[in-house]
Amino acid sequence: MSKSEIMAELPRLRAEDRQEILDRLWQMEEATLLHGGAPDSAETALLDRELIAFEQDGQNGSPWREVLSRIRTAASR
């Protein structure tokens, strides 16, 4: 099935099916990033901008341990 065929079929799917597909796509993206995938140029630019903002004003952002704790709490719900 081609990408254009998949794209044409998506609007015909039930909301639950679209959500399942979306969840699977996010799982695939996460796996790619965790196993050596690098951010693309747009993501790199965003990360660079956020890092600059954080370095200019230490109030932006959160320490990694705090972020990790929030992730683990959300995942356990």
Give the chain's mean pLDDT.
89
Check pLDDT > 80 for residue 76.
yes
Question: What secondary structure letter does DSSP report for 60?
Answer: S
Question: What secondary structure letter does DSSP report for 38?
Answer: P
Once rounded to an integer, what is the mean pLDDT over residues 63-69?
90
Check pLDDT > 80 for residue 60.
no
Burial of residue 61 (CB within 10 Å: 0-12, 13-18, 19+) is middle
Compare 35 and 2 and report the one with higher pLDDT.
Answer: 2
* pLDDT band, residue 63 (cuts 50/70/90): confident
Check pLDDT > 80 for residue 53.
yes
